């Protein structure tokens, strides 16, 4: 656990829901070298926390649906464990993601809800490919 933001390495991937660049399998090497940072905070504080000077390579997660009891069914309102597991799955560590989520009663359901999108994102080549693939799972705004 990091208590001082200065402890965060510049190369660390910081999951930031407000980033314009999506996490992709292309980030695997960077994640292996410098890690992935998940900021654990309330969604009511998120914008304030993330607009500060958060170090690291900023990446957002693509379209995913929460399974946690607080935000069940909400798009993008993932718990910290859902975010961390999603990141691991996307960069090529699905077994580790599964192990992590198995610690929570509702955890395995997160993977069931998001199995198809997570598999698509894990097959992407880069951030823009992830963004293109997420459109397959987003509802049509015209509907």
Q: Per DSSP, what are the bridge partners of residue 59? A: 15
For the chain, the 3-state helix, strand and coil shares in percent, each to the nearest 5, are: 45, 10, 50
Mean pLDDT score of the chain:
87
Mind listing the pLDDT tens digit for each residue in 57-92?
Answer: 889 999 999 999 999 999 999 999 999 999 999 999
Domain count, the chain: 1
Does residue 100 sit within a domain?
yes
Q: Taken in order 81, 27, 60, 38, is the CA torsion positive or negative?
A: positive
Instruction: Report residue 83 as tokens.
Output: 């975010």
Give the orientation angle of helix 127-134 with respect to helix 107-122, to 10 degrees. 120
Does residue 134 sit within a domain?
no
Q: Which residues contact 118 (CB under 8 A, 6 or more apart)?
A: 64, 86, 89, 90, 94, 111
Does residue 86 sit within a domain?
yes
Domain that holds residue 24: 8-123
């Amino acid at each position: 656990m990091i208590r001082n933001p200065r402890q965060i390495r510049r190369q660390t991937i910081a999951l930031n829901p407000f980033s314009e660049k999506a996490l992709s399998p292309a980030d695997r090497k960077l994640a292996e070298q410098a890690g992935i940072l998940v900021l654990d905070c309330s969604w009511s504080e998120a914008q304030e926390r993330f607009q500060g000077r958060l170090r690291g390579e900023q990446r957002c997660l693509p379209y995913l649906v929460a399974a946690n009891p607080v935000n069940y069914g909400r798009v993008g309102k993932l718990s910290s464990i859902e975010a961390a597991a999603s990141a691991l799955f996307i960069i090529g560590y699905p077994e580790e993601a599964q192990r992590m989520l198995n610690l929570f009663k509702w955890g395995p359901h997160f993977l069931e809800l998001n199995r198809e999108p997570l598999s698509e994102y894990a097959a992407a080549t880069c951030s823009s490919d992830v963004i293109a693939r997420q459109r397959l799972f987003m509802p049509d705004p015209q509907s």
